[in-house]
Amino acid sequence: MQRNGGGVGAGGQPWVLRRVRLTWLSFMLFFILVFFPLIAHYYLTTIDEAGSPDKRIFGPRAGGELCETKHVQDLCRIRESVSEELLQLEAKRQELNGEIARLNLRIEACKRSIDSAKQDLLQLKNVISQTEHSYKELMAQNQPKLSLPVRLLPEKEDPGLPPPKSTRLCRLRSCFDYARCPLTSGFPVYVYDTSSYPWADYVDPLVKQAFTTSVKNNIYITDNPNVACLYLVLVGELQESSSLPSPSELEKQLKALPHWRSDGHNHVLVHLTRKSMTQNFLYNVSTGRAAVAQSTFLEQQYREGFDLVVSPLVHALSEPNFLELPPQVPIKRKYLFTFQGERVESLKNSLQETPPQSFEEEIEGDPPADYDDRIIGTLKAVQDSHLDHVLVEFTCKNPKQSLPTEWALCGEREDRLEVLKASTFTLVIAPGDGQLVASAGCGMRLFEALEVGTIPVVLGDHSRLPYHEFIRWSEATIIVPKPRVSELHFLLRSLSDNDLLSMRRQGRFLWETYFSTSENVLNTLLASIRTSIQVPAAPIKEEPAQEIPHKAGKLAGTDPNLADNGDLDLGPVETEPPYASPRFLRNFTYTAADTYRTWNRAPGPFHLFPHTPLDPVLPSEAKFLGSGTGFRPIGGGTGGSGKEFQAALGGNVPREQFTVVMLTYEREEVLMNSLERLNGLPYLNKVVVVWNSPKPPSDDLLWPDIGLPIVVVRTEKNSLNNRFLPWDAVETEAILSIDDDAHLRHDEIMFGFRVWREARDRIVGFPGRYHAWDVNHQSWLYNSNYSCELSMVLTGAAFFHKYYAYLYSYVMPQAIRDMVDEYINCEDIAMNFLVSHITRKPPIKVTSRWTFRCPGCPQALSHDDSHFHERHKCINFFVKVYGYMPLLYTQFRVDSVLFKTRLPHDKTKCFKFI
């Protein structure tokens, strides 16, 4: 026990010492780690603050002294170098970006150049293809182009023709000398001076004056008898108080004419009458081989196909007032039919109360001389039945003188016209004597009926109506044999309103064209002879274009918004050279083979047109079997869409171009912009600018160069009618009439042109309008609101045939053109009236355009408040002139064939937007 305790006490002192040392060491370590940094920080801070700034050890030094060290200087140099390189790289980047932008622009320009080059290449291929076609056509042409034959003039000592066995057997082939009238002679006519032959003093002065006045205005009249084809001699009408020369004396006087040449061949003895009773003093006169033109003929006197039945000369010196004529509608008038006349020979029997015997009973044994008694009884029975309003009078207070067996006219002309204005039909009873094949009395009744729109009913099919060889009278009159008089009432009631108006309109055309004035009577007489010998009419007049000199400026560009058609080319730009439409190809056929249409359809046979919209069309296979001259079938005949379609015109007629006619008035900037938009337009022949202002264009005005002729035409006066003058500068059938502020895309124009080629007789255009009926005022209104029906197409943007420019300027009634000048308005309405009157068809509207807007353009005339009021007046005035409303409604417009049609990926549409 002691040993353990002693051991512990002895050994405990070293352990304590070790513990004390460890504690002291820990304290010292703590002091060093904690207090020494604090003291050092305090000491250093105190020294740094006490010293001057230049003796500081750790503070910042002024003047960048910190960078004076080598390391810091290297870092600064590196920083500056990097900054400089960064600036250079940024500049290089910007330069490269600019270069990239320039290259992108060049790439886009190259793409456009490539596209343009492709279009040019395609157009060039089309032009080459067409040139190859033209070359092949010229090489294969089996109809050589011939010049006009040299005119052969007859010798002064004309040997004449061998005389026929009898002058009663005279026909053109035996009594007319064709050698004096070559086809290219121009049909010269020599008229004897009415004061140079003995019977001149006996001729009615009014007839003589009217004849002389008409001769002065006729284009065929010549003063040189040696080259004349025809010789006219006025022999009547004689004055009532004149004593007739004996037949033998009259024959001697005729043979004494200086160019009679023994037998009078190629002479026409003209006997015009103003009265219903006229002397047929040539009946017993031997006229040799001279033809007779008069209103009254006996059967043994009339030489069919040689002599001429002419109409009476009612308006000798006065012009009829078309505004005083009754309208053609309403179609049914107060009386179903009327007749006023007196035949003294049969009047007594016709008034007997006993009914006449039947036709069967009358014709037993010898045929009766006439059926007048039966006619009187039947007409009285119809009147007494009161089934219809009928006016028949067989007695007159003051009957006009008439030939035996002919029905005399009753009363004065004005009284007769008032009755006819209230009649749907009027009877024209042929003379009872069948030998009287034509009479002045019947001619007078026919004239008055046609004048006021009453349909003539001719009782007696043996009568020869005026110019019956050429005029189809069945379209304007009802010709009934006398034995059918008992069925006449039923026949007249069975006719529809459509047929009645058609006959009434045709009768108005015949009266206006052939009978209304003395000038028309003479023109018709000459036209009938000229047609009989197959000589073409004189070419219709063209308006000479007095060009205004102008200078072209820079080459015009093409507005992509106006020419865009997707990836399709619209066709070749045929500029080398412009292709004019062929002219006067149907001179002979138009006269000889188309006689019916030329005589029975407006405008009549008085003019020869270079071309018409009614020329016949070849069947489809003809263009591939020998008659393909000028044709450009789609895909060579295989058809196609898109590019194949645009590469050729196709259709049913040969290739052609069109002419733009642009009317302008002191809007130079607008005009220049419009002309520039025509640059690159396919199938454009030329542009004719009608300068309607009296002031010439500015001297410093630069006209755009569109690669085609621009003809600026000076006009005599400011008239909207100048738009439709047939300028000789227009060498194509197709005319695009366009206002100077109308904006049309190229594809719209091309589509309109293609549509017009298939409807050449109609107006084809863009803005549509229609005529509306004013119920309150019983008249017509002009309406431009959106409508599902239209009847007019404004000619401010429309295609039409040049044929209608001739008709508008030279054939259409002058009163219409005068009103256009008075209002400075309505010329487009007048053209729509004319075309619808001629064709009886409405116009054709293409695309969805209804109006045109021209941003920045000066105000046009159509913005005037009075514009629409004037157009209302124009429509109603034109209706009075024509006698009816010619405009017709249509309920459709034309779009391209594949419009809105889903196509395979390898096919393209005809037009992208149409």
CA 418 to chain centre: 38
Cβ distance 194 to 208 under 8 Å? yes
Query: For the CA atoms of the chain, what is the radius of gyration?
Result: 49
Helix axes of 205-216 and 518-532: crossing angle, nearest 10 degrees: 60
Distance CA 879, CA 875 (A): 6
Distance CA 402, CA 622 (A): 59
Residue with tokens 């004061």: 195
Alpha-carbon distances of 799 from 688, 760, 802, rounded to whole Å: 14, 9, 10
- CB under 8 Å to 662, separation ≥6 — which residues? 671, 674, 675, 687, 688, 689, 690, 738, 739, 740
Distance CA 455, CA 102 (A): 83
Residue with tokens 């007409």: 379
- Secondary structure element (H or E) that encloses residue 480, with its range: strand 478-480
Set 201, 828, 864, 906: catalytic member: 828
3-state DSSP assignment of residue 790: strand
Residues in the chain: 914
Count of CB atoms within 10 A of residue 332's CB?
Answer: 11
Q: Are strands 546-547 and 779-783 parallel, antiparallel or unpaired?
A: unpaired
- CB under 8 Å to 659, separation ≥6 — which residues? 684, 685, 686, 687, 688, 730, 731, 732, 734, 735, 736
Amino acid at 478: I
Cβ distance 682 to 606 under 8 Å? no
Cβ distance 503 to 330 under 8 Å? no
Find, among 331, 281, 255, the residue nearest to 504 by Cα: 331
Active site residue 384: no
* Encoded tokens for 712: 């600026």
CA torsion through residues 542, 546, 551, 556, sign: negative
- Secondary structure element (H or E) that encloses residue 664, with its range: strand 658-664
Q: Are strands 551-555 and 658-664 parallel, antiparallel or unpaired?
A: unpaired
Alpha-carbon distances of 841 from 256, 786, 788, rounded to whole Å: 56, 21, 17
* Encoded tokens for 93: 């980047």
Enzyme catalytic residues:
828
